[in-house]
Amino acid sequence: MTPQTSLEIKGNLVAHAAAELVSEIIRAKLTGSLRLEQKDQKAVLYFKSGRLSFAVSNSRKARLFDILISRGSLERETLADIPNFSSDFELAAQLETRQLLTRQEIGALVTQQIAYILIDAFCWMDGSWTFSSLARLRDGLDYSIDVRPILIQYARCLPSETVLKRLRLAEDSFSRSEVSADGLDLLPDEVKILDVCAEKSLDLRKLFEQSLLTQDAAVGAIYSSWLIGLLNRENWHPAFPQSAVIAIRGARLELKREATRIQITQPEPSPQFPAPTAPVAELSSEDVIESLDEYLARVESAATYYDVLGVGPSAEQDAIKRAYLSLVKQFHPDHFHKAAADLGPRVQTAFAALSKAYETLKTPESRELSDFRVRKELAEREKLSESGLDKTTDDRLRQAQLSFDHAIEVMRGGDMDNALPFFARAAHFDPTNARYRAEYGLILSNDPKEKHTAEAELQAAIGLAPDPPTYRVRLAKFFISIGLQKRAEGEIGRLQKAFPQNGEALALLESLR
DSSP 221-254: HHHHHHHTTSEEEESS--SS-HHHHHHHHTS--E
User: Please, are residues 301 and 399 in contact by the beta-carbon 8 Å criterion?
Assistant: yes
- Cα angle 327, 217, 146; round to 5: 75
List the CATH code of the domain at 390-512.
1.25.40.10
Q: Which residues contact 21 (CB under 8 A, 6 or more apart)?
A: 34, 129, 131, 239
| Ordered DSSP codes for 282-302 | PPPTTS----HHHHHHHHHT-
The three-point CA angle 142-143-149 to 5° equals: 145
Q: Is the dihedral of CA 226, 230, 231, 236 positive or negative?
A: positive
Torsion angle, alpha carbons of 272, 275, 279, 283, to 10: -100
CATH 3.40.605.10 fits 292-382, yes or no: no
Give the CA dihedral 355, 358, 362, 367, nearest 10 degrees.
Answer: 120
Determine phi and psi for 173, rounding to 5 degrees. -135, 160
Q: What is the pLDDT of residue 274?
A: 36
User: Minimal CA–CA distance to 271: which of 52, 103, 37, 60?
Assistant: 52
Select from 236, 350, 238 the least CA-distant residue to 293.
Answer: 350
DSSP single-letter state for residue 278 = S
At position 1, the amino acid (one-letter code) is M
Predicted local confidence at residue 83, as pLDDT: 60
pTM reported for the whole predicted model = 0.49
Report the pLDDT value the prediction gives residue 37, as an integer from 0 to 100.
Answer: 92
Helix (H) or strand (E) holding 402: helix 395-412
Domain ranges of the chain: 2-146+240-255, 170-234, 292-382, 390-512
Cβ(248)–Cβ(32) below 8 Å:
yes
H-helix segments, 146-241: 148-157, 160-166, 188-196, 204-211, 215-227
- Say how many C-beta atoms besides its own lie within 10 A of residue 68's C-beta: 22
**Amino acid (one-letter) located at 37:** E
Tell me, what's the pLDDT at 250?
63
Alpha-carbon distance of 441 to 435, in angstroms, equals: 10
Spell out the residues 6+ positions from residue 430 whose beta carbon is closer than 8 angstroms to its own: 396, 397, 400, 401, 436
* Nearest residue to 376 via CA among 412, 352, 354, 402: 402
Distance CA 95, CA 77 (A): 14
Backbone angles phi, psi at 11, to 5 degrees: -170, -170
What's the order of all strands across the beta sheet hosting 202-203? 202-203, 173-176, 231-234
Query: Distance between CA atoms of 44 and 151, rounded to whole angstroms?
Result: 17
CB burial of 355-375 (b: ≥16 within 10 Å; e: otherwise) equals: bebbbbbbeeebbeebbeeee
Q: Are 134 and 253 in contact (CB under 8 A)?
A: yes
Q: Classify 9 as helix, strand or coil.
A: strand
Tens place of pLDDT per residue across the chain (513 aa): 444 445 678 899 988 999 999 999 999 988 888 999 998 888 889 888 888 988 888 877 777 777 777 767 777 667 666 665 556 766 777 777 878 878 788 788 888 888 888 888 998 888 999 998 876 565 556 777 888 888 988 888 888 788 888 876 556 889 999 988 888 888 888 999 999 988 888 888 888 888 888 888 888 899 999 999 999 988 888 888 887 787 776 654 433 333 333 333 334 443 444 333 333 333 343 444 556 777 887 788 777 788 888 888 888 888 888 888 888 888 887 777 666 666 777 888 888 888 888 888 888 878 887 777 667 666 655 655 555 554 434 566 777 787 788 778 777 777 777 778 778 878 887 888 888 888 888 888 888 777 788 888 888 888 887 766 777 788 888 888 888 878 878 877 787 777 776 677 667 766 766
Q: Over 318-348, what HEC string results?
A: HHHHHHHHHHHHHHCHHHHCCCCCCHHHHHH
How, if at all, do strands 135-136 and 231-234 pair? unpaired
Predicted local distance difference test score (pLDDT) of residue 391:
43
